Amino acid sequence: MTLRDKSELAVAKRVVVKVGSSSISGANADKIQSLVDALAKAHSRGVEIILVTSGAIATALPIFNLDSRPDDLATVQALASVGQSKLIARYQQSLDKYSIIVGQVLLTAGDFEVEETRRNAKATLDRLVKLRALPIVNENDTVATHEIKFGDNDRLAALVAVLVDADALILLSDVDALYDMPPTKAGAKRIETVLFGEELAGVEIGGSSTNVGTGGAVTKVSAAKVATEAGVSVLLTNTDQVSLALDGADIGTWFQANPNK
C-alpha cells in the first residue's frame, strides 16, 4: 500500500530501513543494540523488516589501525571482506535475545540489471521475511568494481524497497531531518514534507561529513526520488529516532510517494 503520511508507518506491513556507517561504527558502534531493539519491537507486531546496512568497511578500519577509508579498490574490498562478517555477527548477537535470525544478502548493481538475478533476489528476501528472519542487505563490496558499484547504500536501499514492494523506506542519518540548509548553520529550518515531484528549489543539500561514509543528504534525496517515483514513501530521520519513526511519530522529513503508482 502507498502510505499517505508518516503516521501511517504505524500500520505499515513491510518496511525497509537503511542505516549508514557513521551511525553504527566507531564511537557509535554501541548504537547497533538500540537500532536492533527498535527493529525487533516492530518485528514483534508483525512488521516485515528488511535492514540495509553500511558499515562493513568502517568496522574493519580499527582492526587494521586505519583512521579513514582507503582510496584504492583492492584495500577497500579486503576491508569489506573482514568487516562484513564481524558486522553481521554484531547484528546477530544483538538479535539473539529476541530469537530473531539474521539472513545476510549481499548485492551488486548488476544484480538489479538482470531479470533473473532481480527475480532471485526478490524471492530470497520475500522468503526470509515470511520465515520471520530479518534480512540484512549490504553491497557486495568484495566483488563490486567502480563501474558497477551503487556509490552509496542509500540508492541500494531505494532499489531494494522498490524490488520488494515495501510500504515505506526509512533512511537513517546522523541528522534528524532534511533542512533548507546545513543544520549547523543559524536559521536552518526543518523541511517536514516534500511533495511528490517537488524540486526543492533553494535548498542547500550537502554530502557526507564523515571519513567513513560515502553518502550524506545529497544521496538520501536522490534515493528518495528513486523510491517515491516507484510509489514507495520515504522518511528521513536519525538513527536515535528509528523506534519513533516505526511508530508513526511526527518526526523527520516525509517524502510523498507517486500517487499514481
As a whole number of angstroms, the distance between CA 238 and CA 83 comes to 23
Please name every residue paired with 50 in a beta bridge, in sequence order, or none if there are none. Answer: 16
Cβ–Cβ < 8 Å for 154, 189: no
Give the 3-state secondary structure of residue 233: strand
As a whole number of angstroms, the distance between CA 121 and CA 164 comes to 9
Give the 3-state secondary structure of residue 7: helix
68 carries a ligand binding annotation: no
Q: Which residues contact 23 (CB under 8 A, 6 or more apart)?
A: 31, 35, 172, 173, 174, 238, 239
Cβ–Cβ < 8 Å for 105, 79: no
As a whole number of angstroms, the distance between CA 51 and CA 34 comes to 14
211 carries a ligand binding annotation: no
Residue 145 CA to chain centroid, in angstroms?
21
CA distances from 149 to 61, 117, 118, 213, 259 (A): 20, 16, 16, 14, 30
222 carries a ligand binding annotation: no
Q: Which amino acid is at 206?
A: G
As a whole number of angstroms, the distance between CA 66 and CA 174 comes to 22
Torsion (CA) 187, 237, 226, 167 in degrees, nearest 10: -140
Overall size of the chain counted in residues: 261
174 carries a ligand binding annotation: yes
Show binding-site residues for substrate: 54, 141, 153
As annotated, the binding site for ATP includes 18, 173-174
Binding residue ranges = 18, 54, 141, 153, 173-174
